[in-house]
């Protein structure tokens, strides 16, 4: 798959893949999930080998069970057609996590 094909598959602007590869742009969780689906790999694939980083790095590697749980949640979330319902679910998740509503 070419970079252009991948960018199209994940709805990113041209040049995004090059910026990701060079470390000039990072992916958010949704983009990482979408990328994993486009490449037909689990999200955990992108974290392989991180345990070999030295102790001076500040990278926190999520546990595998959290990644699998997040994948299942996002998969179900993106199947919800009603934007209001998705917003309500997001609000519920933020409330459960103790976050303040951004757009109250």
* pLDDT tens digit sequence for 9-62: 888 888 888 888 888 888 888 888 888 888 888 888 887 776 655 555 565 666
CA distance 71 to 44: 10
Smallest CA-to-CA distance from 6 within 17, 20, 19 is with 17
pLDDT confidence band for 70 (50 / 70 / 90): confident
């Amino acid at each position: 798959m070419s970079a252009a094909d991948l960018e199209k598959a994940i709805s990113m602007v041209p040049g995004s893949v090059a910026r990701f590869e060079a470390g000039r742009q990072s992916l958010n969780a949704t983009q990482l999930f979408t990328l994993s689906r486009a490449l037909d790999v689990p999200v955990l694939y992108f974290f392989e080998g991180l345990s070999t980083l030295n102790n001076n790095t500040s990278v926190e590697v999520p546990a595998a069970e959290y990644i699998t749980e997040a994948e299942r949640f996002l998969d179900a979330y993106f199947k919800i057609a009603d934007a209001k319902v998705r917003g309500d679910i997001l609000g519920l998740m933020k409330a459960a996590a103790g976050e303040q509503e951004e757009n109250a």
